[in-house]
Structure 1
Amino acid sequence: MNTYSVKELYIYPIKSLAGIRVESAKAEEMGFENDRRWMLIDEHNQFITQRNHPILSQFYPMVIGSKISINHHDKKHEFLINETLNEPLFSKVWDDETQVVEVNKTTSKWFSEALGFDCKLVKINTSGDRKHECTKLNTTINVSLADGYPYMLIGTQSLDFLNEKLEEKITMARFRPNIVISSSVAHEEDSFGEFQIGTVQFKNAKPCGRCIMVNTNPKNAIVKKEPLNTLSTYRKRDNSILFGTNVICLNEGKISVGDALVF
């Protein structure tokens, strides 16, 4: 029987900005604590991502005590994790309506000046403010501001297998996982059912269909045609190109790098 363990953990406090590698994380229904609780919206309250603005990959957040600190080139800004204005706003993440609140006017202005267009940084405050219909599991889940599911899990061999086919090797950062596990067979994570890490029960929802964002090099925001071109030759199912799998958690708890997966 194969044994699996957690190799890397990541959170992405602000949707589409750079991620943070962590040694442990608190798993919640919506996703890891402080994972994609914030996002940028435009003047029409539409969410903003790297799909149209690859430069977002060059904004680097850090969690420092009770604050989120952002570095972008020579600019720096910070705000309190629990800081918000009182007026609710309504936006969408794809087809899911979500209620959010602006963090503060100063932070929105900082991002607007850095990006060159008007935007606001908003936060989802409460579990239940955004619900996602999970058709594969025939249930409704509470999600933060991630694209569709609270957790992304990828096995190390899936990336190794892809890199064998690429002229320019890439890192796992392209795929923005939350949980990276040791694996021995490429894409075996697709077939996982329920499993436990530490005290937390997880359930596989479905393999993840990837978008153009994986073609953005997170080191420099340069967009090329890989790895989607290569993935399309062996990972295309129906109209989706699959890499990694979407996971939900069934109870809260802490997980750490080195923890084993128990099936």
Structure 2
Amino acid sequence: MDNTPFISEIYIYPIKSLGGISCQSARAEEMGFENDRRWMLIDENNQFISQRKHPILSQFQPQILEDKIEITYQDKKHTFLINESINNPILVSVWDDQSEVFEVNKTTSDWFSECLGFACKLVKIIEIGDRKHKSKALNVTLNVSLADGYPYLLVGSESLDHLNEKLEEKITVARFRPNIVISSKRAHEEDHFGIIKLGDVTFKNVKPCARCIMVNNDPMKSIVLKEPLKTLSTYRKVDKNVLFGTNLVCVEKGVVNVGDVLSF
């Protein structure tokens, strides 16, 4: 029986820290999958907004409809064009990096402000190179999107299964917000990948991903509990970091599909 690892799930997260979209295929680019974390919410001080402080963001669910993105929140819906923006650059910080972004439109910002109960703007990164991230692991500067650091996160199915064996209440991979899930053979084997190919696309493994309190937010309920970080810290803690999944960069662009096999 052929047990070669293959892509079992693909996700994109158009707006940083909001819900994800399950895809059958996605175009892999230098900055991440097409339309992945090209948008984010910022507050009045131009600081990015995330589930770390506002777990309710997991309740905002995006959907791509041809040239539009539709956001659903409770009984409300809002739509904006993928390519629209106000030509007035805003300088923002994403952790240690600065990026030039542009507000999508005032109506969209007002809609999010009303839903969240405080003033915010939806902004977009437009050009490759508008945010550069210095990778200490690779000792290179990367062109990235508005993701926390690296453009891609890969998780092996066995890593999640191994964790769920230790948890009283089982969780789904949605807690970890991966871009790619593979049907792995051993728990955490993805930590040790080097250069890999998924279909016709080539990726380079950067380092295992250090996890934060966001993984304790149940995305269906927006309730933050102690798991799974509490259990992960008993066997996945390295130098004060709790690791789960691994960060990748794309070194040869193309389209990946659910079912594409992994090769080295």
TM-score (norm 1): 0.99
**How far apart in 1 are the matches of 2:234 and 2:3?**
28
Output the amino acid matched with 1:136.
A
**How far apart in 1 are the matches of 2:159 and 2:70?**
32
Output the amino acid matched with 2:81.
L
Could you give the per-residue CA deviations for residues 181-222 of structure 1, whole angstroms, max 9, x where no partner exists? 001111000000001112211000000000000000001101
> Unpaired segments of 5 or more residues in structure 1?
none
2:214 counterpart SS class:
helix
**How far apart in 2 are the matches of 1:198 and 1:103?**
34
Could you give the per-residue CA deviations for residues 155-179 of structure 1, whole angstroms, max 9, x where no partner exists? 0000000000000000000000000
**How far apart in 1 are the matches of 2:105 and 2:36?**
19
Residue 251 of structure 1: how far off its partner (Å): 2.1
1:143 corresponds in structure 2 to: 144
Residue 57 of structure 1: how far off its partner (Å): 0.2
Output the amino acid matched with 1:182.
S
Kindly indicate whether residue 113 of structure 2 is the aligned counterpart of residue 118 of structure 1: no
Alignment of 1:151-166 (within 5 A): 151-166=152-167
Alignment of 1:1-263 (within 5 A): 3-263=4-264
Output the amino acid matched with 1:176.
R
1:250 counterpart SS class:
strand
2:224 counterpart SS class:
coil
1:229 counterpart SS class:
helix
Could you give the per-residue CA deviations for residues 80-124 of structure 1, whole angstroms, max 9, x where no partner exists? 000000000000110000000000000000000000000000000
**How far apart in 1 are the matches of 2:232 and 2:263?**
29
TM-score (norm 2): 0.99
> Unpaired segments of 5 or more residues in structure 2?
none
Residue 3 of structure 1: how far off its partner (Å): 2.0
**How far apart in 1 are the matches of 2:254 and 2:28?**
5
**How far apart in 2 are the matches of 1:41 and 1:229?**
30
**How far apart in 1 are the matches of 2:235 and 2:3?**
24
Per mean C-alpha deviation after superposition, the further-off stretch among 57-66 and 1-10 is: 1-10
Residue 27 of structure 1: how far off its partner (Å): 0.2
Output the amino acid matched with 2:54.
H
Output the amino acid matched with 1:251.
E
1:133 counterpart SS class:
strand
1:90 counterpart SS class:
strand
Output the amino acid matched with 2:69.
I
**How far apart in 1 are the matches of 2:51 and 2:204?**
28
2:99 counterpart SS class:
strand
**How far apart in 2 are the matches of 1:41 and 1:205?**
28
**How far apart in 1 are the matches of 2:198 and 2:164?**
27
2:235 counterpart SS class:
coil
**How far apart in 1 are the matches of 2:186 and 2:256?**
23
1:63 counterpart SS class:
strand
Could you give the per-residue CA deviations for residues 212-243 of structure 1, whole angstroms, max 9, x where no partner exists? 00000001101100000000000000010000
**How far apart in 1 are the matches of 2:4 and 2:246?**
18
> RMSD in angstroms over aligned alpha carbons?
0.9
Output the amino acid matched with 1:19.
G
**How far apart in 2 are the matches of 1:116 and 1:139?**
40
